[in-house]
Structure 1
Amino acid sequence: MKNIIAALFLTASLGNVTQTTAQQKNTNPKLVVGIVVDQMRYDYLTRFYHRYGDGGFKRLLKDGFSLENAHYNYIPTYTAVGHTSIYTGTTPSNHGIIGNHWYDKYAKKSIYCVDDAKQTTVGNSGKGGQKSPYRLVTTTITDQLHLAQNMQGKTIGIAIKDRSAILPAGHTANAAYWFDGGQRGEWISSSYYMKQLPTWAQKFNAAKKADAYLSTPWNTLYDINTYTESIEDDNNFEATFKGEDKPVFPHDIPKLRASNNNYSILKAIPAGNTFTTDFAKAAIIGERLGKSAHTDFLAISYSSTDYVGHQFGVASKETQDTYLRLDRDLESLLKFLDKHVGKGKYTVFLTADHAATQVPSYLQSVKIPGDYISIKKLRNYLDKSTKAQFGSAALIENISNFQVFLDHDELKKNSLKANEVAQFIADEAIRYRGIYKAVTAATLQKTTFTNGILNSLQNGYNQKFSGDVLLIPNPSTISYMKKGTTHGSGYSYDTHVPIIFYGNGIRKGRSKKKYEIIDISPTLANFLQIEFPNGTSGKVIDEVLKR
């Protein structure tokens, strides 16, 4: 009798598991859309809020779940690293993408994160498609979704920047597309993914939409006098396009395109984001995303915000106008998803790959500390120091991304110990103006920093790829020209970004708790009930999920 009862209980339990699994499949979204806005500070949500329409950022905030205190937890905060960390759920210490470019201490040369000479361009005869994600050493949430569905469903990455399309889409992507500017003006891909562009992509290129977007000047969306959240249009803190006398509206794009590498100027104006949205819509239709029995994933990155931010800075009217226009692009995309995938059938997250500092020269003008540091002068200083101490000015092989790489052959030649030389350089570097902290690789390998900026430095340190000494500049101290701005630090102006979840399976609300960018992928994995990316170090953000 006991055996019969046990058998009935087991049958009922298995039935419940089967029913739960079936319900899970039925409630999973048909499409997940990851949106990364390149160089978006969190305060762009609040600073321009009253100027946004109801269907873009406000729709996501009103009907989604916003994390108001979300940060990057590592250094360096660069584009490739940010996109990779979002989608792998871990930091450079694990996923291996330690910069956009970095010094390869084995090949003894600077390398680019997605360059792959084994691949060929798909879409034209140029070399812009010799790319792949092969330097990425962990899986992504997009990889895990493919694995969980026995390689069913589609994953596609789209961005003007190649690295922003390739790294989020992962190793198993069906496609990644990026924009080839210059004299071409086409969306391209790599032989890593396909042999030729699909018909829909060929038709999109043939339509020459890029020319349409470059046919009119860039003027403000609204009366420029109402852009009171930004500094004066004519100022000394912004860079100009080639051919301009002043960095002011209107920017005569039809006239300027010839002297600004033709189609490449599209990357640096808000129309580049609209152009990206157009291509994403074409991909949704052409690939029938959200129409199969499986969950598809579309990774979109808006790159033009970064180009505008670098050139004009955080406080510029150009940056404000770019976000007001992006708001319209988001509204257009969400309405398109409503129509072609269906309301309640898709899930979106929106975040940024990093933020940015105010232009240091502008900060100086309002009596706030900010400065510039010359890597060339720093290198000369350290070479002279090592010459005086060790008798050689050739002990440093490279300084880049605020990392010092020693020449280990030169060390052996002079019978010097790497750790001793590295510590000496760290001690000397801290004496240099603009350097706030200097830590050796040996220290990072032996010590665990549990909080603060040294914890961020440690999370960005990769024993296999990083340098022998890692430097942290003072706040708002950058290695850059004096007009425009950049990013890369572990300070809040570079780390504080939006994270908004929206759509299928997402609660409405907001949270002031501190979360990290690496929490996005494990949260999605838990929501989709799939395995985490294999290097995951983030946590599930339980409060955003309905189930």
Structure 2
Amino acid sequence: MRLRAFAAVSALIATPALAADEPAAAAPPRLIVAVSVDQLSADLFAQYRRNFTGGLARLQDGAVFPSAYQGHAATETCPGHSTLLTGVRPGRNGIIANHWFDLSLPRAEKRIYCSEDASDPESGPDKPVVSPRLLKVPTLGEWMKRKWPASRNVAVSGKDRAVAMMGGHKIDQGYWWKGSGFTTYKGAQLSPVVEAENALIAKAIAKGSKAFAAPAWCAPRDRAVRLGKDFEIGQGRFPAPAKDVTAFSRSPRLDAATLSLAGRLVDEMKLGRGDAPDLISVSLSATDYIGHSVGNEGVEMCIQLAELDRGLGAFFARLDKARIDYAVVLTADHGGVDATERLAQQALPRAVRVDPALMPGALGRAIAAELGITGVQPLIYGDGPAGDMYLNRALTPSQKSRALDALVSRLRAHPQVAAAYAAGELAATPMPVGSPQDWNLRDRARASFDPERSGDVVVLLDRAVMPIAVPGKGYTATHGSPWDYDRRVPLMFWRKGINGFEQPAPVETVDIAPTLSALLRLKVPDGSFDGRCLDIDGAAGNTCR
């Protein structure tokens, strides 16, 4: 019986056969709008979806996949965005994390940022020269431009890495927030509409803004939670005092500015009204900034999602007014987990902050003392207590072998570590297949593993272990784990006239690019995607054929 039920569910996703009397599919849309809501987990969407009345409500009338997986273990912003329009997992597209280490770099700083041009002498991981050059595969916008040279590929976001990963190597215009306004790639000029948007932002920041009102349905979330001696979360309303740039950008105002700029670009470039279909990618960053600052279960996040819903509704209405034939996909780059202290109040005993002994520096010192290794500093490179760790290249082969064994052994013995894999183990593991919800931890790690870039050891912390040892203002909660609260995100497709449905069976974010390719009737070479086409609606022009 269970097999028959699974077959029935799978049939809704698989490529259908057209009935003899089925009408021909609609013409491809003229504009694809790809929206990523940074840190919008499937759990968070499910929690609030019944309250939405704007853009998020409209999308629920389309094809809804409430369990879409960022299947890989490294659930960070850059890897997550790298899957959305490439259709390729991080283990093959090369974007294994937000930061990793390249010990062969000629510069003193071996840490590398996922969207930097490390060959530029002006670039560094903290002040990068932004570039998509580390992305190993094309994006949908690039495939479109190969077929239709007149097609425009545009991206806008609160984060440079979202623009680089969704736009790719061949982009017409790309803008992201930096400092107190939007900027663009080195050597490129700001469009007049970007300068106009920045001028409005500057006035708003100089004047300041009142706090947001919380909708009535946010009341159950409106309670204080103390973190440390002098820091509380859970009751914020995002006031923005005059000249406070951080208060502006770490609030719903950032998404509003991003959507405003996206609308201006649609108008200025006449996207969706040319001889070829166009693509605009819009990555909204405020949910992530707020989740990091105060967690995702307080009134702050409730206000943010209400404003997000309203802002998306206004943006879609703007496209409607322009009479553009557009199709929307909305998803997220990853999910997130709430602040440990609030989880602990909810009697979740597993919720703890990470043991500082798991930091790369502490591990390196302990192993050096254990093995009697001197004169090699640091012994271990890493960006934190989870993810990729690299052994110093100054080690002799014998020292490296012993250090690797000691590191894996020490990690696996720690109660906060769910798994630790040596690079050789992951390299010998085939890429996972089948449903991502059934993948084991090794499969999830393998989906993020690139033998050219990944560490000597990959560390996965246990469920509900927060990799931030000490919370502080602006950084109290995070993501990046292999667990479903970080991997599972919503996925929705909408186009005017679509026959809406909801499909509970798990899908992947790498399914987006092949689905949109089918919608556009864009053929790409076999093997270009790791994902598959989802039959979102034959009447909307997508038949997965």
Task: Report 1:173-252 matches (<5 A).
Answer: 173-181=171-179, 185-191=180-186, 194=188, 196-208=189-201, 211=204, 215-223=208-216, 226-230=217-221, 232-237=222-227, 248-252=235-239
The corresponding residue for 2:18 is none
SS of the residue 2:155 aligns to: strand
Matching residue of 2:113:
112
Q: Name the Cα RMSD after superposition.
A: 2.8
Matching residue within 351, 354, 363 for 1:370: 351
Matches within 5 A, 1:379-528: 379=360, 380-389=362-371, 391-392=373-374, 394=376, 396-401=379-384, 402=386, 403-412=388-397, 415-416=398-399, 418=401, 421-448=403-430, 450=432, 451-480=439-468, 481-482=470-471, 484-503=476-495, 506-528=498-520
**Distance verdict in 2 for CA 1:535–1:106, change over 3 Å:** farther
Inter-partner Cα distance in structure 2 for 1:281 and 1:129? 28
With over 3 angstroms needed to count, the CA separation of the structure-2 counterparts of 1:270 and 1:152, relative to structure 1, is same
How far apart, CA to CA, are the structure 2 residues paired with 1:213 and 1:498?
37
Deviation at 1:117, TM superposition (A): 6.7
What is the distance in 2 between the residues matched to 1:354 and 1:214? 34
> Is the CA contact 1:34–1:350 (under 8 Å) kept in the aligned structure 2?
yes
Please list, as runs of the form range in 1=range in 2, the aligned pairs for 1:51-450 lying within 5 A after superposition: 51-53=51-53, 55-62=54-61, 64-107=62-105, 109-116=110-117, 130-149=129-148, 151-181=149-179, 185-191=180-186, 194=188, 196-208=189-201, 211=204, 215-223=208-216, 226-230=217-221, 232-237=222-227, 248-254=235-241, 257=243, 262-342=244-324, 345-368=325-348, 369-375=350-356, 377-379=358-360, 380-389=362-371, 391-392=373-374, 394=376, 396-401=379-384, 402=386, 403-412=388-397, 415-416=398-399, 418=401, 421-448=403-430, 450=432
Bigger Cα Rg = 1
What letter corresponds to residue 174 of structure 2 in structure 1? A
**Change beyond 3 A, Cα 1:135–1:239:** farther
| 1:10 alignment counterpart | none
Render the CA deviation track for 1:415-442: whole Å, top value 9, x for unaligned: 4354x54233211211123111111001
Q: Which amino acid aligns with 1:466?
A: S
Q: Could you say which residue in structure 1 is the equivalent of 2:14?
A: none
Q: Is the 2:234–2:298 Cα contact (8 Å) retained in structure 1?
A: no
Q: Which runs of 5+ in 1 are unaligned?
A: 1-22, 122-126
CA spacing shift, 1:363–1:157, aligned 2, 3 Å:
same
SS at match of 1:202: helix
2-structure distance, mates of 1:472, 1:525:
34
Q: Kindly tell me: are residues 532 and 209 of structure 1, through their superposed partners in 2, closer, same or farther at Cα, counting changes over 3 Å?
A: farther
What residue number does 1:34 align with?
34
Tell me the amino acid that sits aligned with residue 159 of structure 1. Answer: S
Following superposition, the deviation at residue 544 of structure 1 comes to 4.6
Q: Deviations over 1:17-50 (max 9, x none)?
A: xxxxxx98x8111100000000001133332233
Displacement of 1:313 in angstroms is 0.7
- Whole-Å Cα distance in 2 between the matches of residues 316 and 433 of structure 1? 29
AA aligned opposite 1:248: Q
Distance 1:214 1:464 in 2: 49
Residues 252 and 501 (structure 1), Cα distance of their counterparts in 2 relative to 1, 3 Å cut: closer
Q: 1:75, 1:489 within 8 Å by CA — same for their partners in 2?
A: yes
Cα distance in 1 between the residues matched to 2:121 and 2:100: 23
Question: Residue by residue, what CA displacement relative to the aligned partner does 1:375-414 show, whole Å, maximum 9, x if unpaired?
Answer: 56544245323432364584733122522201132224xx
Q: 1:86 touches 1:521 (CA, 8 Å); kept in 2?
A: yes
- Measured in 2, the distance between the counterparts of 1:460 and 1:505 equals 37
Aligned residue pair count: 495
CA–CA distance in structure 2, aligned partners of residues 210 and 539 of structure 1:
46
One-letter amino acid of the structure 2 residue matched with residue 38 of structure 1? D
CA 439–138 in structure 1, closer or farther in 2 if over 3 Å, else same: same
- 1:7 aligns to what? none
Residue 365 of structure 1 and its aligned partner are, at CA, apart by 2.5
Whole-Å Cα distance in 2 between the matches of residues 537 and 245 of structure 1? 43
When normalised by structure 2's length, the TM-score is 0.84
Deviations 1:114-141 (A, max 9, x none): 22377799xxxxx978311111111111
Counterpart amino acid of residue 479 in structure 2? H
Q: Tell me by how many angstroms 1:237 deviates.
A: 4.6
Amino acid at match of 1:42: A
Asked if the contact 2:330/2:491 (under 8 Å) is kept, the reply is yes
